[in-house]
Structure 1
Amino acid sequence: MGLTGPADLSDAFKKLPLCGTGTFHLEKDRENSEMEKDEKMSRKIHIFDTTLRDGEQVPGAKLNKRQKIEIAQQLANLGVDVIEAGFPCSSPEDLQAVKAIAEQVKGPVIAGLARAVQQDIDLAWEALQGAERPRIHVFLGSSDIHLKSKLRKGRDNALAMAVEAVRYAKKYCHDVEYSTEDGSRTDFDYLCRVIEAAIDAGATVINVPDTVGYAVPEQYGELIRKLRESVPALDRVLLSVHCHNDLGLAVANSLAAIRNGADQVECTVNGVGERAGNASLEEIVMILKTRHDTYQAYTDIKTQEIYRTSRMVSRLMNIPVQPNKAIIGANAFAHSSGIHQDGILKDRSTYEIMKPEDVGIRQHKMVLTARSGRAALKHRLTEMGYELEQDKFERVYKRFLNVADRKKEITSQDLNSIVEIELTKVPETFTFHSLQIMSGNTMIPLASVTLLKEGQMLTDAATGNGPVNAVFNGIERIVGQQGKLRDYDLKAVTMGKDALGEAMVRVEIEGVVYSGIGTSPDVIEATARAYLNAFNRFFAGSH
């Protein structure tokens, strides 16, 4: 405990050694006391992560069971309070993924979404019953727009349906969340009636979503405040908010709700989600941490895990993070202006309101080149938080040498890219070996591609309307399968002329879209590796 009064200080001095360290410990005790006092004056905001449910609704971002478990484990490491693992009734595959997460991931509450119908609730419980802390999340439209146009029900019928669904879910599970879909556009008096009825039926969490991102902060904050005043029963449950980003206000609306009494925020890593996305977890968490003086609220998120979680979600969902994205974008802690650089060198707080280390972006002094051995690479990986088994380390080391032979220095961002791609690879039916390209503005581009299959070298050549298209055609001739390129993104992982290029593709193969990712200092090679990675996912039955 911290020291709180003169008697405590006197006792403490008697116990401290008579040297400089005593003063140090006393100052630390005072600091801890202030922190404890500050936290007692704060209230906790529960972080409900819906990356694996709402976030996965982005076209082409479909995850398989193994990938969902991997992200869920990292979300548990991050310290989220609730993981919404999926929508079990949406497909047998999603039901099995939610079930696996419920059984394997410990710590957070594991939630599954269900419409307000018995069949959905039955399937949700089938998936969740193995969790140590399960939650059934039931939703039903409440706005007149949804009632008339989608549900074709009157208010009273919908209210009865909501009550019945909550009571039915309660038979399975103590923790039941009820969401008033499109709550921000719902008639206020009717919204109060629905919320009160759901609580009386047994709901432990009430969620009032801004489903279509229509609200503005002043309006949304006022809605939450009025609900607190008008529905006394809300004091017995958690009041949650779920904001979409259609007008770019998801985070602002969530913060306005927190200031006016919301207990839980539903959000996603990197702000991924349907349409323009959801409220960004990392932005909400770091705003509450950085501006605690304003919001007097805290979360249990381990902020040092934010960057790693962001990278994992970006790679597995194949959704790039924009460079200027707050908190975790490549430029979030970058300074190019001479005035800014001068200020940063004198005092980082002149132009940085957060430390990059606080979100898991670490600075390293050791320079890695092609001459660096295994010991140096392993040391850097350990500093970055990677503890790799020997076989995985050898895969990373082999790829590291391949890249380092063509690049002056290997940065931490380069290593993150190399490690995460190697660790998330599916079994490779075909392995990239080499390529050669002839191209120019007066000739038809020609690409010769060589792949390995079970140790056998396979080479073929093809033309195309450009060098990348020629490479794609060459790969397709070797693997014996056609694909349609649906999305292609190419970016530099780091700055400079020898930057590592990172290519992400989405390829439609036999009616299913598969994602692929590849890196290389040569952008065409990176693209070829990404395209081949997508085909390997197809051959592995993973999408």
Structure 2
Amino acid sequence: MASHRYRDVYQRVSVPLTDRTWPSNRITAAPLWVPVDLRDGNQALAEPMDPARKRRFFEMLVAMGYKEIEVGYPSASQADFDFVRLIGSANLAPEDVTIVVFTPARVDLIERTVESVRGLRNRVVIHMYTATAPVWREVVLGASRTELTDIIVAGGQRILALAGDMPNVRFQFSPEVFMLTEPDYALEVCDRMTTLWDATTQRPVTLNLPTTVEVATPNVYADQIEYMHRNLARRDSVILSVHPHNDRGTGVAAAELALLAGAQRVEGCVFGNGERTGNVDLATLALNLHAQGVDPMVDFSDIDEIRRTVEYCTRLPVPQRHPYAGDLVYTAFSGTHQDAIRKGFAEHRARAAREGRSEREIPWRVPYLPIDPADVGRAYDAVIRVNSQSGKGGIAYLLEAEFGLELSRAQQIEFARHVQKYTDETGAEVSARRLRELFAEYYGVPVESPVS
């Protein structure tokens, strides 16, 4: 592999920042989350969502508590245009939900986009984008920096002419491929837009800085965000937003470090859908905050229902090992993990009893489980499952949890050897019911007989 062809990537994305402060910061509050499943995620589907699926997805996002939702690309298709109009005509969005629509910096497409939101009662953000990185300028657009700036400003002027007098409308600009854009040029065009749109604290402008293609480690992106955070004009009148993609598999880390570096808003998809390897995963980001004791401000208390809805609407499965949402993420097969979890649950119950509080009220500290599965609507019955990798702790846990059978330590050791022999021979997972039958067979007692 000719890896030398990519060696200059860090040079191309480096920023003039030597006194960075983000490594010492902490995330203490949730950002403004903006799901883009209905636009960015939808355009990445082999079969884009039909109107019924789009509506179901939108209503789920509203129910979860998202306050700003990108709903489509109304100049790209009649379906997207009609969906934006439906939100208004059917009163799908509560008053406190802001609707975001997406458009390139092209006059005809801008006009179509503004027409789609005309008359909407909700707050609206018109999101204009243009690719700004050198390769895109040279190969795709055939424009110099000056020529591209003129295109961007012309688009911004047209939006202002058409929607500047709409009191419920704000503006957003994305220098697409921000991560590969020269820092001074990204700063220049962003400042041009906040000046043109007269960003104020009463009518702030959102500047969205995407890793359209993730090409460097997350700390590089954090440096880029801190550079913009510290140098933008009208900073108090700017909502600084990020839109990480996941080409290197580090989209979540990039978003978290960007928040440390000054970002206030994150665009992504609920379970990370999107072009190529996807957009940043909002469920993982939100529940990472929850695991640190920070309120994520969106409701994942029934994560299985959310997953079912997303899978139905996108026709894409959520992997079994997906953080927080996958079928197996709270399940232990390993004997050492099972033993630690069993002891952790026992200690948790005992601590709650000592303190006279419910198990849901006391601090969580069960080994191998970073959050209480009940926080996302999961039951405990799937936490421990038995196969050939399991040990006595898992077997004892299942028999006690499912049937109230408390095995002595000697019985645990003895019976575990019998189960191990069975799983080695069959190669199969063993259900709690099958464990009870094996126990009865081994000790020569009826299945419903208590343990002596």
**TM-score after normalising by structure 2:** 0.68
Distance of aligned partners of 1:64 and 1:496 in 2 relative to their CA distance in 1, 3 Å threshold: farther
Q: Which residue is 2:133 aligned to?
A: 143
User: % of aligned pairs identical?
Assistant: 26
- Contact 1:128/1:135, CA 8 A, preserved across alignment: no
The yes-or-no answer on 1:125 pairing with 2:111 is no
The structural deviation recorded for 1:49 is 0.4
1:8-23 equivalent positions in 2, closer than 5 A: none
The yes-or-no answer on 1:361 pairing with 2:361 is no
The structural deviation recorded for 1:237 is 1.2
Q: Which residue is 1:86 aligned to?
A: 72
Q: Which residue is 2:339 aligned to?
A: 342
1:433-485 deviation per Cα after TM superposition (whole angstroms, max 9, x unaligned): xxxxxxxxxxxxxxxxxxxxxxxxxxxxxxxxxxxxxxxxxxxxxxxxxxxxx
Question: Which whole-Å CA distance do the structure 1 matches of 2:181 and 2:304 have between them?
Answer: 37
1:268-279 equivalent positions in 2, closer than 5 A: 268-279=269-280
Q: How many residues align?
A: 325
1:311 to 308, 313, 320: 308
1:424-503 equivalent positions in 2, closer than 5 A: none
Distance of aligned partners of 1:248 and 1:210 in 2 relative to their CA distance in 1, 3 Å threshold: same
The structural deviation recorded for 1:305 is 4.4
Question: Which whole-Å CA distance do the structure 2 matches of 1:131 and 1:87 have between them?
Answer: 19
Task: Specify which structure has the higher proportion of strand.
Answer: 1
1:69-84 equivalent positions in 2, closer than 5 A: 69-84=55-70
Amino acid in the other structure paired with 1:358: D
The structural deviation recorded for 1:361 is 2.8
SS at match of 1:303: coil
SS at match of 2:39: coil
1:19-30 equivalent positions in 2, closer than 5 A: none
The structural deviation recorded for 1:228 is 1.3
Question: Which whole-Å CA distance do the structure 2 matches of 1:360 and 1:120 have between them?
Answer: 43
Runs of 4 or more above 6 Å deviation:
none
- Contact 1:85/1:101, CA 8 A, preserved across alignment: no
SS at match of 2:321: coil
The yes-or-no answer on 1:195 pairing with 2:184 is no
Question: Which whole-Å CA distance do the structure 1 matches of 2:378 and 2:45 have between them?
Answer: 29
The structural deviation recorded for 1:249 is 1.2
- Contact 1:289/1:298, CA 8 A, preserved across alignment: yes
Distance of aligned partners of 1:309 and 1:236 in 2 relative to their CA distance in 1, 3 Å threshold: same
Q: Which residue is 2:237 aligned to?
A: 236
Gaps of 5+ in 1: 1-40, 366-494, 498-543
Question: Which whole-Å CA distance do the structure 2 matches of 1:308 and 1:159 have between them?
Answer: 46
The yes-or-no answer on 1:166 pairing with 2:124 is no
Q: Which residue is 1:215 aligned to?
A: 216
The structural deviation recorded for 1:67 is 1.0
1:119-138 deviation per Cα after TM superposition (whole angstroms, max 9, x unaligned): 22222222223241211111
Distance of aligned partners of 1:209 and 1:217 in 2 relative to their CA distance in 1, 3 Å threshold: same
Question: Which whole-Å CA distance do the structure 2 matches of 1:254 and 1:305 have between them?
Answer: 24
Q: Which residue is 1:116 aligned to?
A: 105
SS at match of 1:213: coil
The structural deviation recorded for 1:105 is 2.2
Distance of aligned partners of 1:66 and 1:341 in 2 relative to their CA distance in 1, 3 Å threshold: same
SS at match of 1:276: coil
Question: Which whole-Å CA distance do the structure 1 matches of 2:309 and 2:276 have between them?
Answer: 21
- Contact 1:128/1:134, CA 8 A, preserved across alignment: yes
The structural deviation recorded for 1:298 is 5.0
State the structure with bigger RCO (CA 8 A, min sep 6), 1 or 2.
2
Question: Which whole-Å CA distance do the structure 1 matches of 2:121 and 2:71 have between them?
Answer: 11
The structural deviation recorded for 1:139 is 0.3
Q: Which residue is 1:352 aligned to?
A: 369
SS at match of 2:37: coil
- Contact 1:184/1:209, CA 8 A, preserved across alignment: yes
Distance of aligned partners of 1:314 and 1:229 in 2 relative to their CA distance in 1, 3 Å threshold: same
- Contact 2:134/2:181, CA 8 A, preserved across alignment: yes
The structural deviation recorded for 1:271 is 0.5
- Contact 2:45/2:314, CA 8 A, preserved across alignment: no
Amino acid in the other structure paired with 2:149: L
The structural deviation recorded for 1:362 is 4.2
Amino acid in the other structure paired with 2:306: T
Question: Which whole-Å CA distance do the structure 1 matches of 2:262 and 2:47 have between them?
Answer: 34
Amino acid in the other structure paired with 2:222: G
The structural deviation recorded for 1:278 is 0.7
Question: Which whole-Å CA distance do the structure 1 matches of 2:278 and 2:287 have between them?
Answer: 19
1:483-533 deviation per Cα after TM superposition (whole angstroms, max 9, x unaligned): xxxxxxxxxxxx879xxxxxxxxxxxxxxxxxxxxxxxxxxxxxxxxxxxx
1:65 to 39, 51, 76: 51
SS at match of 2:129: strand
Distance of aligned partners of 1:496 and 1:179 in 2 relative to their CA distance in 1, 3 Å threshold: farther
The structural deviation recorded for 1:272 is 0.5
- Contact 1:217/1:249, CA 8 A, preserved across alignment: yes
Q: Which residue is 1:284 aligned to?
A: 285
Distance of aligned partners of 1:265 and 1:127 in 2 relative to their CA distance in 1, 3 Å threshold: same
The yes-or-no answer on 1:181 pairing with 2:176 is yes
Gaps of 5+ in 2: 1-26, 200-204, 346-365, 383-428, 432-452
**TM-score after normalising by structure 1:** 0.57
